């Protein structure tokens, strides 16, 4: 699990959009989209229907981009681990976690890599950080 929102720019505004508005493939969930549109309409009454459509469209594109980047990073980390290049996997995961500090899967993969490198203390801390990010 990663951050529970994505940031979507619209003009000078930057809107925080809940990831729960989308499924795992980045497809919008109609009920959540309707509620988000209503919230935006009340909060920003000057936004037209077209503007709301653009915002929702931008959010869909951003969500798909985020999912793709997360998938690529985790696939690369898995490949590096499988090839035994644990140091490079650790570097990649740490860089990823700077941008996505709530990515539980990345914390767990980092913990695994660190433990396999013999750095048990740091590995256990990474596992613990991942557990803190799990939904309750």
Closest CA to 129 of 94, 102, 89, 96: 102
Q: Within 10 A of 136 (CB to CB), how many other CB atoms are there? A: 2
What pTM value is reported for the model? 0.69
Cα 58 to the center of its chain, rounded Å: 16
- Digitized pLDDT (tens) for each residue of the chain, 136 residues in all: 446 889 999 999 999 999 999 998 889 999 999 999 999 999 999 999 999 999 999 999 999 998 998 889 999 999 999 999 999 999 999 999 988 888 888 999 999 999 999 999 999 999 999 888 765 4
Cα 46 to the center of its chain, rounded Å: 30
Eight-state DSSP code of residue 27: P
CATH superfamily membership of 68-132: Tetratricopeptide repeat domain (1.25.40.10)
99-134 pLDDT, tens digit per residue, is 888 888 899 999 999 999 999 999 999 999 988 876
Return the SS3 of 13: strand
Facing residues of 28 across strands?
22
Residue 134's pLDDT is: 62
Residue 69's pLDDT is: 87
**Cα pseudo-dihedral 136, 70, 83, 104, rounded to 10:** -10
Domain ranges of the chain: 5-64, 68-132
């Amino acid at each position: 699990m990663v951050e529970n929102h994505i940031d979507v720019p619209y003009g000078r505004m930057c809107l925080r959009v809940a990831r729960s508005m989308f499924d795992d493939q980045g497809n919008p969930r109609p009920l959540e989209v309707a509620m988000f549109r209503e919230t935006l309409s009340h909060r920003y009454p000057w936004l037209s229907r077209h503007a709301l459509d653009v915002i929702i469209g931008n959010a869909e594109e951003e969500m798909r981009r985020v999912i793709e980047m997360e998938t690529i990073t985790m696939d690369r980390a898995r490949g590096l681990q499988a090839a035994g290049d644990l140091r490079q996997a650790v570097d990649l995961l740490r860089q990823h976690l700077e941008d996505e500090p709530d990515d539980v899967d990345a914390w767990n993969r980092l913990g695994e890599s660190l433990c396999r490198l013999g750095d048990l203390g740091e590995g256990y801390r990474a596992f613990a950080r991942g557990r803190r990010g799990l939904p309750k």
